[in-house]
Amino acid sequence: MSIDIESIRKDFPILEQTVHGKPLAYFDNAATTQKPTQVIDAISEVYTTYNSNIHRGVHHLSNVCTQAYEDARVKVQKFINAGNSHEVIFTRGTTEAINLLATSFGESFLKKGDEIIVSQLEHHSNIVPWQLLEKSKGIVIKVIPINENGELILEEYDKLLSEKTKLVAVAHISNALGTINPIKTIIDKAHALSVPVMIDGAQAVQHVAVDVQALDCDFYVFSGHKLYGPTGIGALFGKEEWLNKMEPYHGGGEMIKTVSFSGTTFNELPFKFEAGTPDYSGAIGLGAAIDYVQNIGLDVIAAYEHELLEYATEQLKQVPNIKFYGTAKEKASVISFMVNNIHPFDMGTLLDKMGLAVRTGHHCAQPLMEHYQIPGTVRASFAIYNTKEEIDRLVEGIKRVSLLFA
Residues marked active site are found at 364
Selected from 35, 73, 86, 123, the binder of ligand PLP by CB under 6 A is 123
Q: Is 94 in the site for ligand PLP (CB under 6 A)?
A: yes
Cα gap 150→144, rounded to integer Å: 11
Selected from 28, 80, 82, 93, the binder of ligand PLP by CB under 6 A is 93
CB of 99 to ligand PLP, least distance (A): 9
Cα gap 216→162, rounded to integer Å: 20
> Which C-beta is closer to ligand PLP: that of 98 or that of 395?
98
For 166, the 3-state DSSP assignment is strand
CB half-sphere exposure, 380, CA atoms < 13 A:
31
Q: Is 95 in the site for ligand PLP (CB under 6 A)?
A: yes
Q: Is 223 in the site for ligand PLP (CB under 6 A)?
A: yes
> Which C-beta is closer to ligand PLP: that of 43 or that of 205?
205
Selected from 65, 118, 171, 391, the binder of ligand PLP by CB under 6 A is 171
Which among 251, 226, 266, 284 has a CA at the least distance from the CA of 90?
284
CB of 287 to ligand PLP, least distance (A): 17
Q: Is 386 in the site for ligand PLP (CB under 6 A)?
A: no
Q: Is 99 in the site for ligand PLP (CB under 6 A)?
A: no
Cβ atoms within 10 Å, residue 398? 26
**Contacts of residue 297, Cβ cutoff 8 Å, sequence gap at least 6:** none
Q: Is 202 in the site for ligand PLP (CB under 6 A)?
A: yes
Selected from 77, 104, 179, 203, the binder of ligand PLP by CB under 6 A is 203
> Which C-beta is closer to ligand PLP: that of 231 or that of 340?
231
Q: Which stretch binds ligand PLP (CB under 6 A): 91-99, 110-118, 270-278, 310-318?
A: 91-99
List phi, psi (to 5°) of 27.
-120, 30
User: Alpha helix (H) ranges present in 146-269?
Assistant: 154-160, 183-191, 212-215, 240-245
Rg (CA), the chain: 22
Which among 195, 188, 110, 181 has a CA at the least distance from the CA of 147?
181
CB of 186 to ligand PLP, least distance (A): 15
> Which C-beta is closer to ligand PLP: that of 65 or that of 202?
202
Which among 290, 245, 293, 339 has a CA at the least distance from the CA of 71?
290
> Which C-beta is closer to ligand PLP: that of 268 or that of 370?
370
Q: Is 77 in the site for ligand PLP (CB under 6 A)?
A: no
CB of 80 to ligand PLP, least distance (A): 16
CA angle at residue 182 from 155 to 131, to 5 degrees? 75
Q: Would you give the DSSP letter of residue 147?
A: -
Cα gap 114→1, rounded to integer Å: 49
Selected from 66, 119, 120, 125, the binder of ligand PLP by CB under 6 A is 125
Point out which residues bind ligand PLP (CB under 6 A): 93-95, 123, 125-126, 171, 175, 200, 202-203, 223, 225
